[in-house]
Structure 1
C-alpha cells in the first residue's frame, strides 16, 4: 500500500522502540525502515516488540551513516518535531501532511518521514534537510510521545489518505518530482547565486535561505523545473563573471 514510503529513525536510543516502530509500520503498510547512526541497536531486544509482521521489516532493516544518505533518493522529506519556533516555521499536522504525501506516493514518487531521537528530537541542521515539518498536537500537560506512538500516528494519517485519495491517482505525472539530492544541489546553487547578488545576508545565509527552501519544497518541484532553476543560477554566475569564460547554452 505505502511501498514508496520510508520511515527514518535518527539515532534511536532504545532498541525496543525500534521494534515497536517496525510493528507500527507493518500495521499501516509501510515496508521500508531506515536507522541513521543508531548508537547501540540490539536486534534481539527489538524483535519481541516488533511481533511477527514487524519482524519482517527488521529483517530488511537498513542502516545509514547520515540523514542525508538516508533520504537522498526521496522526492519529498517530512521531519517531525515537538519543538516549535526559531528555525521551525510552517509546521503542519500529520493530517495536513498526509494528503500531499499520498499524492506524491500515488504518482510513483518516494517520501521519507523522519523521526528524531527520543530524548532531544531532530537537531536544527537535520530539520534543514526536511522540506516540511510535522508536529503531533497533544495536551499541553503531556507533550512527549513515545517514538513508536509518533510513528503510528503519522503513518495512520497517511494510510487514511491513501484510502480516500486512491481513485484520484489515475493520471500519470508529466514530469517526475525532483529528488532530495537534486533539491539540495539546487539549494546550494541558489545560496551561492543569492549571496553573489547580495540578496542573502552573509552573516547567516543558512537562516535566510530557510524561506526559499520551504517555498520550493512546498510547491513540489519537478525535474524540468529543477533544470530551469539550475540554468538560472548558471546564468547569474556567468553574468557576474564567476562562471566559465564561455556563456552557457540555454
Structure 2
C-alpha cells in the first residue's frame, strides 16, 4: 500500500510544482521534459521510501521480540504458566469487513488528478513561455475568472469531498452514485456554458487566427464524451458492487 501511495504523492506533487517552476521555457517539449523528469525521479524515490519503511517496521518488530525473549532467557525468569484455552473454532472469527471499492492507492492517485485539475486555471493564467509566438501570453482568457473559475474550483473541491465519503463508506451505494451524477452533470454544464459564452482562450490567439469558433465545438464534444463515459463506468461499478453484496 505504501509503495503506490508514496510514489503517486511524491511524483504528482513534484510534477505539479515543476509545471509552475519551469514556466518561461522556450518550447513545450522542453517545458514538459523539465517538469516530468524530476517527477519521475521523485516517484521512484517515493516507491523506495515506501518499501524501506515497511522493511524497517518489520525489522524493528522482529528484533524487539527476539530481544525480549533473549532477555527472559538470560535472567532465568520462569515462563508464566500457560492457561488452558477453550477450543477454537472458525465460528469465533469476527465477521469480515467489506472490501473497499476504493483502495488507498486509488484515493491517492484520484487526489493527485483532482489537484492537477484544481491547479489548471492558475497554471494556464500565467505566461508559460518567454520566447516564441506565445511569449508573455497566458493561454486562458482573464475574463473567464469571474464567475467561471471559482465555480469550477468549487466543483473540484466537492468532487474530492465525495471521493473521501466514498472511501470511508467503503462501498458504492445508489445515493453516492446520484450525488456523483449531479457533480458530473454540473461540471459538464459549467464547462459547456463557459465555452459558448466566453472566449476561454486568450483573445490574442483569436486575433491572430490561432483559435476559432471550432474551439467551443471541439471542447463541447470532449466534455460530453468524457461525461457519458464516466457516468456509464460509474454506473457499472456501482451495480457490480451492490450485486456482490447480494
TM-score range normalised by the length of the shorter chain: under 0.3
Which is richer in strand? 1
Compare CA radii of gyration and give the structure with the larger one.
2
Structure with greater proportional helix content: 2
